[in-house]
Structure 1
Amino acid sequence: MTAEANPPARQGTWVRVLVRGVVLTVVLLGLVAFSVLLAKVTLTPSPASEDLVTANLRPGRSLRQYAEDYTFLAACKQAGGNLLLGVPFGLLLPFFVPRRLRMIRTTLLTAVAMAVVELVQGALVQGRAFDIDDVILNTAGALLGYFVLGRRISHRYYTYADVPGSSEQRDEPKPKPARTPKKAAAKRTTASKAPRPLLDRLRRR
């Protein structure tokens, strides 16, 4: 009976491993494609705005500028574009980070990645400058993507991809250790030293 049940279990395990490999490959390709798009959007020189753009290290400063100096559509385009730029992080990163504290890890990775991009912008790209508000909006976009869809699909992926039986093995009681020869001999010695039944004593008399 065990021999008949093992092949289907092994087959199911291999199917899960195959699905996990395919999903991770697709997600990795998506992450690479998004990285290329991110580089084109954020690292493209803009000589026309070189005299207009300045670095911003004060949170909220650029957002107030969008509200005061931009039209409504232009402000939505600027802020919404930065927000949407972080959404793919919330969709893709949960597949690669541990399940424990996944949301916090995803948020921190997004913030670090976008801070590095902004630093490269300000240091190397003409017409670009570091803006802390862009990092905040990108990180908020990652959280939005995580809560809307990333959390669900990553949870389903991990639930399906886990090897079956691992949780059952944790819940099963641990088998009792086999008695060592020393313990068995000690038990026999103790038994031999135990008082004999009353019947044996009567027979001797």
Structure 2
Amino acid sequence: MTAEADSSARRRSVGRLLLRAAALAAAFLALVAFSVVLAKVTLTPSPASEDIVTSNLKPGRSLRQYAEDYTFLAACKQAGGNLLLGAPFGVLLPILVPRRLRMIRMTVLTVLVIAVVELAQGALVAGRAFDIDDVILNTAGALLGYALIGRRLSHRYHVLSDEPVAADTEKPARRAPARTGPALGSRAKPGTEAKTGTKAKRAARPTAWIKAKRGGRPRTEPTARRSASAPVARGRALLDRWRSRREGPGGGAPGARRRGA
């Protein structure tokens, strides 16, 4: 039974390891594919808007422009596109980063990546400019994706990766079988038991066997027997001597011998 349990535990551990590796590889490949799409969308030159687009370092300026100058559908398309562009960060990054403080790590990484992309847009790509509102919208989209999907997905992944460790630590330690004395009818070979073992076996003997061995009197430890019976034996010896002296050599009372004489 133990061998079968160990083999089944190994199979479960290997299955969890393979599933964890597959999930990690899928998240990494999805992040690479998203990075390609992000680069294609954000780093594609736009010569037609080269004279119109300007850099924005003031938070909220572009959002106000969407509300005032754009139509409702155009504003939703511009703001919603930036939110959707940051959502994959909130879904995939929590799986790749450690479990501790994963939301903070995901947010910091998203801000860094989007800031680098925006800086590359403003410095290298024609018709593109750095916009702080795009960084804010992309980060908000990452937080939204984390709250809707990424949190649960990363929680399941990390629980799956932590299960083998928890199972190994929760295994109860094997206890050594307690040594008990031999049966009443068995004989132990001389020289095979230590003194401590002999004392323990004497203390573990049943009371009925002790009474039968001692003729009805319970058996105690040698030190306790000597300390308890020595004064009683001395008192009995003194009482017997006193009676023998008083009764005389004939065994009768001294007064009775004088009257008979």
TM-score of Structure 1 vs Structure 2, range by shorter chain: 0.7 to 0.9
**TM-score normalized with structure 2 length:** 0.66
Give the structure, 1 or 2, with the largest relative contact order (CA under 8 Å, sep 6 or more). 1
- 2:27–2:96: 8 Å Cα contact kept in structure 1? no
Q: Offset at 1:94? A: 0.8
Superposition deviation, residue 171 in structure 1: 9.3
In the alignment, the residues of structure 2 paired with residue 62 and residue 172 of structure 1 have an alpha-carbon distance, to the nearest angstrom, of 62
CA contact (8 A) 1:16 1:162 kept: no
Aligned match of 1:109? 109
Question: Residues 172 and 51 from structure 1, CA distance in 2 versus in 1: closer, same or farther, beyond 3 angstroms?
Answer: farther
The corresponding residue for 1:123 is: 123
Alignment match, 2:162 = 162
CA RMSD of aligned residues (A): 2.3
The alpha carbon displacement at 1:168 in A equals: 6.3
Alignment-mate amino acid for residue 5 of structure 2? A
Within 2, Cα distance between the matches of 1:114 and 1:172? 49
What's the offset of the Cα at 1:172? Answer: 6.7
Which deviates more, 93-102 or 31-40? 93-102
Match status 1:199 vs 2:189? no
Aligned-residue identity in percent: 66
**After superposition, where does 1:1-150 map in structure 2 within 5 Å?**
1-150=1-150
1-structure distance, mates of 2:98, 2:87: 19
Shift of 1:154: 1.3
Alpha-carbon distance, 1:197 to partner: 3.1
**1:12–1:170: structure 2 CA closer, same or farther, 3 Å change rule?**
closer
Contact conserved, 2:110 with 2:142, CA < 8 A, in 1? Answer: yes
> Aligned partner of 2:125: which letter?
V
Q: Which whole-Å CA distance do the structure 1 matches of 2:135 and 2:226 have between them?
A: 91
Q: Do the aligned partners of 2:90 and 2:146 also contact (CA within 8 Å) in 1?
A: yes
- Structure 1 unaligned regions, length at least 5: 176-187, 189-195
Distance 2:133 2:93 in 1: 22
Which whole-Å deviations, capped at 9, do the CAs of 1:90-125 have from their partners, x for residues lacking one?
A: 111011111111111111111111001001111111
Seen in structure 2, the aligned counterparts of structure 1 residues 18 and 9 have a Cα distance that, compared at 3 Å, is: same
Q: Distance in 2 between matches of 1:136 and 1:165?
A: 39
Shift of 1:63: 0.3
Alpha-carbon distance in structure 1 between the residues aligned to 2:102 and 2:140: 15
- Is 1:46–1:127's contact at 8 Å kept on the other side of the alignment? yes
Q: Is the partner of 1:53 in helix, strand or coil? A: coil
Amino acid at match of 1:38: L
Paired residue secondary structure (2:164):
coil
TM-score scaled to structure 1, two decimals?
Answer: 0.83
Cα deviations by residue, 1:182-201 (Å, 9 ceiling, x for unpaired) = xxxxxx9xxxxxxx934345
Q: Which amino acid aligns with 2:127?
A: G
